[in-house]
Chain A
Amino acid sequence: MAREPRSEVTAKGQGDIISDPLGELFPNVVEEPSGALVSEPPTDIFSEEESVVTDSKANIDPSTISKANGVHSDEEQDLFSEATVELSLDSPRNERKKIENTRPPVAAPTVSVPPSTSKVASKTLEELEEEEEEDKFELNISITNPEKVGDGMNAYMAYQLSTQTTLPMFRSKSFTVRRRFSDFLGLYEKLSEKHSQNGYIVPPPPEKSILGMTKVKVGKEDSSSAEFVERRRAALERYLQRVVSHPSLLQDPDVREFLERDELPRAVSTQTLSGAGFLKMINRATDAVSKMTIKMNESDIWFEEKLQEVELEEQQLRKLHIVVDTCCDDVVWPMGCVFAKSVAMLGSSEDNTALSRALSQLAEVEDKMEQLHQDQANNDFFVFAELLADYIRLLGAVRGCFDQRMKAWQRWQDAQTMLQRKRENEAKLLWANKPEKLQQAKDEIAEWESKVTQYDTDFERISATVRKEVLRFEKEKTRDFKKQIIKYLESLQHSQQQLIKYWEAFLPEAKAIA
């Protein structure tokens, strides 16, 4: 069954930010972004753009390049090029128009930034102007046709990943590849490694399920394993849609490769029991510990409040998820079908012909009704449970970027402390009159001064990114839930329509009884 691709890559903004009732609008949302752009010290947009497309190792280097580009006009330029991308996400229309008019030509800053990025960015802005209300997809993905490959314990499910796009950075307009679950995990690993430390919310993939997969591997051809595969397929699709609808992540060559490349190298580091797996577990544990010991001097109350909100929401969704999950069990009793059969039996032994016919009609209606009823409740509970699970994971990722910001702050603080020590050292040397060591001390001071500046800049940059990401996330979330709710209501309507049809067909039969 062909699934309609539902993703929309909004590299452009949502004009409905002001009039969105389902979202919880914070009073300062409209002002903040512009404030952040103008009043903050010039953020290193280049380094940001760069880090999106290059390796994580290169992260340190761009800062030196940007330092070289410390000319104010260039940074202003940078401001606007970032603005092109940023504005498309969360600025109100007015700001957009104002800045667009004063936009200087964007020069290609460094080699590593692919020209397509700025092209995409400017195109995005134009599109914004033209098609505010229209939902135009620039890239659609869909995941279909799960197929079992291989036998026994080495078997796996391969999914078909189809992409349709008008984006120029891809080789063609429409292409298909096959991917397996570990490929998706591998993608996440790569993206997370590169981007989470910069404060980006990298969407987390669906969870591994050893039990579920084992049943599939073993070849159990029952409805529960079919259901498992379907749920996984849907979850993978949602995951990938979130990735490609993130404007920065979409630029990442790993994402492009994931969509386009025919054969992907096997992502072995995602195996639970591999060496890399263990390392990851340890890293996570260390992170958790270090987070507890960081006590941040928060200069911007927004972050503190927002983090609290995120944590609260995660808690609440977890509670809700538990309740909904337990409801899923009650749906499975096919009592209606059993009843329908017994009505059919009754009809067959009824000696009045018209009544007999009516009873067998009733049996059919009851059967169809029960099917409808089952699908309905299924939809209610299972789909809702999946949505909640997605958001619980996502909120975890959001918390993660707050953590990253804290780490960046800590680094900055540590550098400041170190600088202080180096200065004291210099003072001591001056006093002790040891000129040979003085030069070294001066060098060290210079080194740490630059580090402090860099880490300070990093921290500001991450803060801006986190803020932006969180706002974007909230909008996405509201849209997502709203979409789901509407979809759900429409499916309910459809069920009711079906019901009416069935009963209206039955009524004349009942009236014909004599």
Chain B
Amino acid sequence: MSSSFLPLSEEMFQARSVSVDLNNDASLLIDIPDALCERDKVKFTVHTKTTLGTFQKPEFSVSRQHEDFIWLHDTLVETEEYAGLIIPPAPPKPDFESPREKMHKLGEGEASMTKEEYAKMKQELEAEYLAVFKKTVQVHEIFLQRLSSHPVFSKDRNFQIFLEYDQDLSVRRKNAKEMFGGFFKNMVKTADEVLISGTKEVDEFFDQEKTFLLDYFSKIKDATSKAEKMTRSHKNVADDYIHVSATLNSLSAEDSTPLKHLEKLADLFEKLRKVEGRVASDQELKLTELLRYYMRDIQAAKDLLYRRARALADYENANKALDKARLKSKDVAQAQQHQQQCLQKFDTLSESGKKELTSFKGRRVLAFRKNLIEMAELEIKHAKSNMALLQGCVELLKSN
């Protein structure tokens, strides 16, 4: 797709926020007011308003790419001090694959369909494209807002650079070596997964959390993928309506056609597909996105547990080393110090981890509540307006 500027409407803003309690602190307000879509790349305009003295200006905007967000996330993960915190999940890469593929197929099939049908399908696709766009802006924005509303993260130096630095960040981004480092990190994580399920947890709180998070994660992952399939199948039906309505339209538009009486039916199918499409996308935004987001968030919570487990393992290893040192009467002081450090690290982690996980729970419940309410209200609103539309149609037909 060629370079196009897609301004975001007010409505789209209101539709966002999978999370809650964000962007309420006036001392640091962040949002993404618009974005530019250029070929493969999306350029986000990150806008900051702040009363904090740590920033050079009270209000400013920068342009950032997806990779910049990933860089920021990774630096946070690699920061030892944050080991006891839930690092907000990185936003997923903008994925325009699906609408792009469909657009391509549409282009190929252009010859076989009428001008109107083609125009309608193109419109559909553009709407889909826009929806993907909306979503990706949303997740990127939430990521930043999570950071800005966190007492610790909001003070992070790299975060500040991200918000403020008015040049391109590409210099600081991952090079090949770091990428490999990332890959290595992932491998270690998998080992940790084994570690965590195997370790016996003495702390009741963490034990419960571990069980809960592991179970919940697999369920929410399943729900997310099924939600995606359902949305796709609804979209297929919506496309079908387009075909039928376009055919009907083209047939009943011919002047001499005996099918004139089907013109109204064509209109109806047209309206139906719009309804179908709208219902599908609403559900997607509210429910599917909610599930997707919390799936990632729970992964982040699990990561915290892994880190704590690793700290525990480190501590246990340090203990063993100390015993060995005592036996050998060699480097005892050193070993003792190391052991103390590990213990301290583990304790800090456990303490902050507990706090984080508790607040995470509250956050999650609130977010579900908000989105479920909004989804129900939207569905009711749509159904009511459809009823009115249909009522009008029926009355018109019956009176004639």
Contact surface of A with B, Cβ cutoff 8 Å: 19-24, 309-310, 312-313, 316-317, 319-320, 323-324, 326-327, 330-331, 333, 335-336, 338-339, 341-343, 345-346, 349-352, 354-355, 358-359, 362, 370, 373, 377, 380-381, 384, 478, 481-482, 485-486, 489-490, 492-493, 496-497, 499-500, 503-504, 506-507, 510-511, 513-514
Contacts and interface: CB of A to CB of B under 8 A. Distances in A.
Interface in B324-377: 361, 365, 368-369, 372-373, 376-377
28 contacts: A22-B261, A22-B264, A310-B258, A313-B258, A323-B244, A324-B244, A326-B243, A327-B240, A327-B241, A331-B237, A343-B223, A349-B219, A351-B212, A352-B365, A355-B365, A358-B368, A370-B230, A481-B265, A486-B394, A492-B390, A496-B383, A497-B387, A499-B379, A500-B387, A503-B376, A506-B376, A507-B380, A511-B369
A485 B259 contact: no
B216 A346 contact: yes
Contacts of A496: 383-384, 386-387, 390
A316 B259 contact: yes
Question: Chain B, interface size: which category?
Answer: 35 or more
A335 B226 contact: yes
A489 B369 contact: no
A499 B383 CA distance: 7
Interface of B: 212, 215-216, 219-220, 222-223, 226-227, 229-230, 232-234, 236-237, 240-241, 243-244, 247-248, 251, 256-262, 264-265, 268-269, 272, 361, 365, 368-369, 372-373, 376-377, 379-380, 383-384, 386-387, 390-391, 393-394, 397-398, 400
Contacts of A493: 387, 390-391, 394
Contacts of B400: 19-22
Contacts of A335: 226, 229-230, 232-233
Contacts of A478: 261
B185 to A, nearest CB: 28
Contact of B226 (A342, A486, A513): A342
Contacts of B220: 346
Identify whether the interface residues of B are mostly helix, strand, loop, or mixed.
helix
B240 A330 contact: yes
A506 B258 CA distance: 47
Which 7 A-B residue pairs are closest in the complex by CB-CB distance?
A513-B369, A313-B258, A327-B240, A510-B372, A335-B230, A339-B226, A342-B223
Contacts of A504: 376, 380
A352 B264 CA distance: 50
A490 B223 contact: no
Contact of B233 (A333, A352, A497): A333
B227 A339 contact: yes
Contacts of A489: 268, 390, 393-394, 397
A492 to B, nearest CB: 5
Given A349-B212, A354-B365, A499-B379, 10 more contacts: A313-B259, A320-B248, A330-B236, A338-B226, A346-B216, A346-B223, A482-B261, A490-B394, A492-B390, A497-B387
A112 B163 CA distance: 100
A136 B223 CA distance: 54
Contacts of A513: 365, 368-369, 372
- A22, A23, A346: residue with the most chain B Cβ atoms closer than 10 Å: A346
A380 B268 CA distance: 11
A331 B232 CA distance: 12
Nearest to A486: B397
Contacts of A511: 369, 373
B154 to A, nearest CB: 28
Nearest to B239: A330
Contacts of A341: 226
A504 B376 CA distance: 7
B52 to A, nearest CB: 33
Contacts of A22: 261, 264, 397, 400
B343 to A, nearest CB: 30
Contacts of B233: 330, 333, 335
A313 B258 CA distance: 6
Contacts of A499: 379, 383
Contacts of B391: 493
B105 to A, nearest CB: 16
Contacts of A342: 219, 222-223, 226-227
Contacts of B237: 330-331, 377
A485 B383 CA distance: 20
Given A327-B244, A349-B212, A485-B265, A510 B251 contact: no
Contacts of B384: 496, 500
Contacts of A338: 226, 229-230
B390 A481 contact: no
B397 A323 contact: no
Nearest to B386: A496
Given A20-B400, A317-B259, A335-B226, A503 B380 contact: yes
A316 B257 contact: yes
Contacts of B365: 352, 354-355, 513-514
Nearest to B218: A349
A42 to B, nearest CB: 33
Nearest to B262: A481
Contact of B376 (A310, A327, A359, A510): A510
A313 to B, nearest CB: 4
Contacts of B387: 493, 496-497, 500
A323 B262 CA distance: 15
Nearest to A352: B365
Nearest to B400: A21
A492 B275 CA distance: 12
Nearest to A513: B369
Contacts of B361: 351-352
B263 to A, nearest CB: 9
A336 B233 CA distance: 9
A240 B3 CA distance: 62
Contact of B257 (A20, A313, A339): A313
A350 B216 contact: yes
A326 B247 CA distance: 13
- A335, A362, A511, A514: residue with the most chain B Cβ atoms closer than 10 Å: A335
Given A507-B376, A507-B380, A319 B264 contact: no
B204 to A, nearest CB: 14
A511 to B, nearest CB: 6
A21 to B, nearest CB: 5
B369 A355 contact: yes
Nearest to A305: B256
B227 A24 contact: no
A326 B258 CA distance: 23
Given A22-B261, A478-B261, A358 B372 contact: yes
Contacts of A492: 272, 386, 390
A349 B268 contact: no
Contacts of A500: 380, 383-384, 387
B223 A345 contact: yes
B223 A503 contact: no
A21 B399 CA distance: 10
A424 B260 CA distance: 54
A230 to B, nearest CB: 22
A496 B387 CA distance: 6
B295 to A, nearest CB: 10
A324 B244 CA distance: 6
A303 to B, nearest CB: 15
A240 to B, nearest CB: 24
Given A351-B212, A497-B387, A319 B222 contact: no
Contacts of A510: 369, 372-373, 376
Contacts of A319: 247, 251
A338 B226 CA distance: 7
Contacts of B259: 313, 316-317, 320
Contacts of A343: 223
Contacts of A345: 219, 222-223
A336 B230 contact: yes
Contacts of B377: 507
